[in-house]
Structure 1
Amino acid sequence: MRRWFLIATAVLTLVSSGCSGLRVGGEDAPFPTISPPGGMKAVSWKNFAFAVPGEWREETDGNGGHHWRDASGETVMTAGYSTMSHCPKEADLRRSEGDTNVTGYAPLRVPGAAGGARIVFDRPSYDVNDATNLLAWLKDCQTELAIEVYATGSVVDDIASSIVAQADD
């Protein structure tokens, strides 16, 4: 039911034209822009933009998945956007399911988005503790950005506060 939440790297089905620098999506799509906070760099995708620490290195896999690694090579974040079948309900976002234990929830205000959520979770089978899922969706509730951050501390706040959305014209 919440497969998009449980497996963040599987939500990357809309990437149709591959990656061109840090822009992902079709050429005619709106690509919002941001001025990233100091020490961070901007990422601009179809309908969404956000910032990540400047030292994090982005990698893509053959399935359109986007992963960021820190200087030690550890994966610190995954992100993607997907098509949704319906608007997420707060009760569903708060629910622990399978191996994902939700330990915190707060609405996330994202300029240009219809809604958003900040979900803190543990996933013991992957040795993941205190990770954060940052979600934002457009007003049609058909397009969603999902960012799964494995780092902790103020970097999560910096990424969350940088997210913006822009619907198709």
Structure 2
Amino acid sequence: MTQYTVDALTQALEAAARAFIASLDGGTQPKVTAPRSLDAGTPIKFDPLYDEPPLPFKVKGTHEESLMSTVIYLGAIGRVNAEKRRGANAQEVSTYAKKAGYGRGNDVNGWNLRKGVSKEGSAITVVDGLRYLHAGTHEWVRDLASQLNIEIVGDFTPLPIPATS
């Protein structure tokens, strides 16, 4: 029998509660405000799937605002991959793109083509219409979040990307 830690069980219960509330609300995610750090040395905990962004963000804003948009969008795609054990679908991509400040869901298609973000040659791979964040991109997003004094919470484990069809 597998032994689970209290933290793992708590995260699972929180995810289940959010999914339950979302289903009652017609599929919309509950709005949860990420706790702000009172001490500059303590990172702000942020779950890109469920929390409101803790810092100002804008796709084409200041350096910090642009970083925050990237953490919101790519963080959410990585969280979908890890939490749901699959790629993010078009509806999820649209939802999290808009949450990150992109005008339309398809405005983020460039992330599929950006070179140099990860050793795989792009930030995201699309397989059968589902988006998967590369392992190297996970590390990059964590680095960006760290620059903003943010800690991404929730499962953010890279998911193996299936072979393209």
Query: More strand by proportion, 1 or 2?
Result: 1
> Which of structures 1 and 2 has the bigger CA Rg?
2
TM-score (norm 1): 0.27
Query: More helix by proportion, 1 or 2?
Result: 2
TM-score (norm 2): 0.27
